[in-house]
A and B are shown apart, each in its own frame.
Chain A
Amino acid sequence: MTDKVSENLLLKPSRPVGIVGYGAYVPRYRLPAKEISRIWTGGTGGVPIQEKSVPGPDEDTTTMSIEAARNALARAGIDPEEIRAVWVGSESHPYAVKPTSTIVAEALGVVPFTQAGDWEFACKAGTEAMVAAMGLVGSDMAKYALAIGMDTAQGRPGDALEYTASAGGAAFLLGPAEESVAVIESTLSYVTDTPDFWRREYQKYPEHGQRFTGEPAYFKHISSAAQSYLDATGTTAEDYQYAVFHQPNSKFPSRVAGQLGFSKEQIATGLLVSVIGNTYSGAAIIGLTAILDVAEPGDRILMVSFGSGAGSDAFGIRVTERLPERRDLAPKTQTYIARRTEIDYATYSRMRGKLVLK
């Protein structure tokens, strides 16, 4: 690929765009992986993570998006009526028809003069919404746009995915770079038709395409997006203090980071999967919130999401001097992780509606 073509692959707004406010949310309940193993495998064999977050019975993608977005607005300190888009990316929208985003916009006081829409692209719906929000702000059509990635993921009882399918996510208020805690310098997307994971209409649980999950899906798309982004921007792993990759388990992001030349230290801060599980649309971006909770002005962050089906979005982010004064204005991601109530499989079954009552 010539440099000119490579440079054209970058999505770069004509007006510089950044994160004006960010917020995370993790529900308080935790189901240890060894408790799932106790039920289905007699406690034998390894488990992919330590424990996963479980939403309370009164929580769903809507309520969790509202809390994450309130945290983002608390850090941004702007009037919600100035927001022109509320976009929620998820694969667990509570309704098949009726937007999550209008309820969120109403609760935040953004209505009525706003775009509102629900995005879907398996686990990368949240970053898809972020790229769209960059476009809206970066073209000067709007001053602020809110992009959220949030999920209450379901795994079939006994399936490998049940160990990790969890709940949580993050919200980002994007706006002009000059007001931002972190500037999003550019982004790049890499997408193909890949049959690694899907859920048909009316089905409660997803299916996965056996051997498609690893190499042809996760690794191919993340490493292609990340490497193309590094090439197009003329940067290498050494230029970034932090990196965060989609985290369906502990092994995949650690391995892809190594392949791309990132060290364990660079990915440690954003790697949360072992203690909260795979938050699907929230997985890469909640890692970013944990990084923003501790990063220093001037630090650069590479974030690469992944969604089955399949595709990845890579983002280059640079922290500004406004971050330290704003991050204490809302609860930090590690605080949500520290708030923890362990539950057993029976409680989990009731809370997640796995019991047949009629």
Chain B
Amino acid sequence: MEIPRHWRLKKQRYALVGEVCPHCDAKIFPPRDVCPECGDEAKTLFEFSGRGEVYSYTTLSNAPAGYQASAPYTVALVKLDEGPMVTAQLTDIGEQDVEIGMPVEMVTRKLRSEGDDDRGMLVYGYKFRPMELQQLAAAAD
């Protein structure tokens, strides 16, 4: 059972809460309490904007256990505006092709059910979607 792990990770999973280094101002995700840039202690919480771009991506047809219901789906390395790289599913892609450099934004979605589909705890966390709403709003103005 992984319920304790999901519970421990909820802040970073729900809202991309990482850390900022008080010594060199590096933004850190996932949080690890030690700055990967300067090696000093870094425990100050920092909520990321959720914006970034696709660094690379791949589409999975054979999904691992727990994710079969979502297959096929696209996983991307997303370079956040603040610097760190995160791995996450892309969602709400619509008809457009995923491209390297495509601007994306974080959304909180249902990742899977822990254990039994109908009885297990629902696991929520970040995914990324194309920055489409902003484009549509700009087109409407």
Contact = CB atoms under 8 A, between A and B. Distances in A.
A95 interface: yes
Given A95-B122, A341-B94, A66 B133 contact: no
B50 to A, nearest CB: 9
Given A63-B108, A107-B108, A334-B140, A58 B127 contact: yes
Contact of A335 (B92, B111, B127, B137): B137
B47 A109 contact: yes
A105 to B, nearest CB: 10
A290 to B, nearest CB: 13
Contacts of A95: 122
B137 A60 contact: no
Contact-size category for B = 20 to 34
Query: Would you list the 9 A-B pairs with minimal beta carbon distance, nearest first?
Result: A107-B14, A58-B109, A331-B133, A341-B94, A58-B110, A66-B108, A335-B137, A335-B136, A338-B136
Interface string B1-24: 000000000110011010000000
Nearest to B94: A341
Contact of B15 (A63, A109, A339): A109
Contact-size category for A = 20 to 34
Interface in A58-74: 58-60, 62-63, 66-67
Interface in B94-128: 94-95, 107-111, 122, 124, 127
Contacts of B41: none
Interface string A306-334: 00000000000000000000000001101
B122 A58 contact: no
B74 interface: no
A341 B47 CA distance: 31
A62 B124 contact: yes
A63 B94 contact: no
A64 B133 CA distance: 15
Interface of B: 10-11, 14-15, 17, 47, 69-70, 89, 91-92, 94-95, 107-111, 122, 124, 127, 132-134, 136-137, 140
A68 to B, nearest CB: 12
Contacts of B122: 60, 62, 94-95
A107 B109 contact: no
Nearest to A28: B92
B124 A339 contact: no
Contacts of A112: none
A19 B109 CA distance: 27
A28 B94 contact: yes
A205 interface: no
Nearest to B122: A94
B124 A331 contact: no
Given A56-B91, A58-B127, A338 B140 contact: yes
Given A332-B137, A334-B140, A67 B94 contact: no
Contacts of B127: 58
A103 B136 contact: no
Contacts of B134: 331
A56 B140 contact: no
Given A57-B70, A58-B91, A63-B107, 14 more contacts: A56-B109, A58-B109, A67-B107, A94-B122, A106-B11, A106-B14, A107-B15, A107-B108, A109-B17, A334-B140, A336-B133, A338-B136, A339-B133, A341-B94
A106 B10 contact: yes
11 contacts: A58-B89, A58-B91, A60-B110, A62-B122, A62-B124, A63-B124, A67-B108, A94-B122, A107-B124, A108-B15, A335-B136
Nearest to B111: A58
Nearest to B96: A341
